[in-house]
Amino acid sequence: MNSARRCSALLSQMSRGGSATRTPAAAAAHAGRGGASPRLNPSGAVGPVPAPACPMGGGSSSGGGRLFGTLARALNSTPMTQPVPYLEESPDHDLEGDLAEVDPHQLLRECEQALQRRPARPHRDLVRPVSTAPCSHDNGPLVRVLQWNILAQALGEGKDGFIRCPPEALNWHERKYLILEEILTYQPDILCLQEVDHYYDTFQPIMASLGYHGSFLAKPWSPCLDVEQNNGPDGCALFFRCSRFTLQASAHLRLSAMLLPTNQVAIVQTLQCQLTGRQLCVAVTHLKARSGWERLRSAQGADLLQSLRSITSQRSGPWGASSGPIPSIVCGDFNAVPSEDVYRRFSSSPLGLNSAYKLLSSDGQTEPAYTSWKVRPCGESCSTLDYIWYSQGALSVDRLLDIPTEEQIGPQRLPSYHYPSDHLSLLCDFSFREEPRRLM
């Protein structure tokens, strides 16, 4: 089956139950927007349009496990088995090795076709930090990392109570297209996700068909399981592009606090760049939510940092000599504002970590005003909770995806018809710094 037909077959599983026709005005906007300008509703006016009633969506997660059942069987010659959780070293099953890749551009076009009745994501620029000189790329091509809490479907519909978000905007039948559209638009080399409750029926087969290796680790007591007709527990997922990296080691961690296991997890993987041979340690996590749990978050962060120090402490250089710690990138929804202790732990860690999004500020020292902005019955919450930490001695930041303005986010806040999650995606292009020359 050729790439275009594979894309159509893949997305046909996602398209049952509803279709729409692009109006001439919308078609003109689509031709010129490049994925950036607002989609138009059928009358030609900019703004959200209620999603059509869809038998497989209906505002419920029910049937979510069936959406990609046929696709998963087609993509995988062996059954997808969930990895044994909470082992310090958990081998990842290589289910993607023999898959024929689909065309991401074709898949993106079909996502846009499915979303033609919704307003587009407002444009976000990739900007260069003020204090950073353009990268020469002498040490290899850029490594693009995307971090995102995508909002678990069961929580969005069943627990979170977003009082300004229309229920139709949370319909999984279309919301998943918005998530995929964002990923396909930026095509990261490394993708770190939290609140993933559709890993095996959606993200694993889709990302595998695009040439990514995936790993997933569920929370042991996921709140999704309290929601009727849930799609299983939510957890963290980490994907990397197989054409760029090879997996050298993988650790699935259940984070502890005061020596007691908690409900939060992390995936830590050591990758090797196929183009440069450089090693990179990547971690994804999601710390405890809610105010009043600051000490627990701090303890969880300390536990993760201790594991990272152990994992990155040694790497092999030429002739087996140690060449220093492995550079690290740590992505996650920390559920912590910059004034919290867990933030200070990471910024002062011996790993030499810096928060990439501070570099958007004029002084390079200030986090964005928000990465999450939502309205619940208890009130409005606008705060920075999500971070991309990196080893500033070994990695440099070339570009960052900017933060939407209040006007772009709109009065509904997050999520909405054009933002599928209550968290914004973060994206950073990294390059390796030149390694210091060593005496022979």
Quick: pLDDT tens for 315-365: 655 434 456 799 999 999 999 999 999 999 999 999 999 999 999 999 999
* % of residues, the chain, pLDDT over 70: 72
The DSSP output letter for 91 is: P
Closest CA to 181 of 154, 217, 148: 148
Q: What's the pLDDT at 48?
A: 40
The answer to whether the bond into 420 is cis (omega within 30° of 0) is no
Nearest-angstrom CA–CA distance, 154 and 80:
22
The answer to whether the bond into 24 is cis (omega within 30° of 0) is no
Q: Which helix (H) or strand (E) holds 212?
A: strand 212-218
pLDDT in tens, 249-280: 999 999 999 999 999 999 999 999 999 999 99
In this structure, the chain runs to a length of 440
pLDDT in tens, 135-179: 555 666 899 999 999 999 999 997 777 888 888 989 998 899 999
Write the CATH number for 229. Answer: 3.60.10.10
- Report the domain count for the chain: 1
Region 270-292 average pLDDT: 96
Q: What's the pLDDT at 104?
A: 93
pLDDT: which is higher, 3 or 165: 165
Closest CA to 422 of 339, 340, 333: 333
Q: Which domain holds residue 401?
A: 1-440
For residue 437, name the pLDDT band (cuts at 50, 70, 90).
Answer: low
> What residues contact residue 178 under an 8 Å CB cut-off, 6+ apart?
115, 118, 121, 418, 419, 420
Region 193-216 average pLDDT: 97
Q: Is residue 247's pLDDT more than 70? A: yes
**What's the N-to-C CA distance of the chain in angstroms?**
53
| Block residue for tokens 């204090």 | 131
pLDDT: which is higher, 158 or 234: 234
Closest CA to 56 of 151, 175, 166, 207: 175
Amino acid letter, 97: G
Q: Is residue 219's pLDDT more than 80? A: yes
Query: φ and ψ at 60, to 5 degrees?
Result: -125, 155
Residue 187 CA to its chain's centroid (Å): 11
Q: Is residue 5's pLDDT more than 70? A: no
Lowest average pLDDT, out of 104-113, 154-163, 202-211, 334-343, goes to: 154-163
DSSP per-residue letters across 26-69: HHHHHHHHTT-SPPB-TTS-BS--PPPP-TT-TTS-TTHHHHTH
User: In the sheet where 212-218 sits, what is the strand order?
Assistant: 126-127, 395-401, 426-432, 143-149, 190-196, 235-241, 212-218
| Block residue for tokens 């995806």 | 401
Determine the 3-state secondary structure of 170 from DSSP: helix
Q: What's the pLDDT at 281?
A: 98
Nearest-angstrom CA–CA distance, 393 and 312:
14
SS (H, E, C) 85-147: CCCCCCCCCCCCCCCCCCCHHHHHHHHHHHCCCCCCCCCCCEECCCCCCCCCCCCCCCEEEEE
pTM of the model: 0.82
Determine the 3-state secondary structure of 214 from DSSP: strand
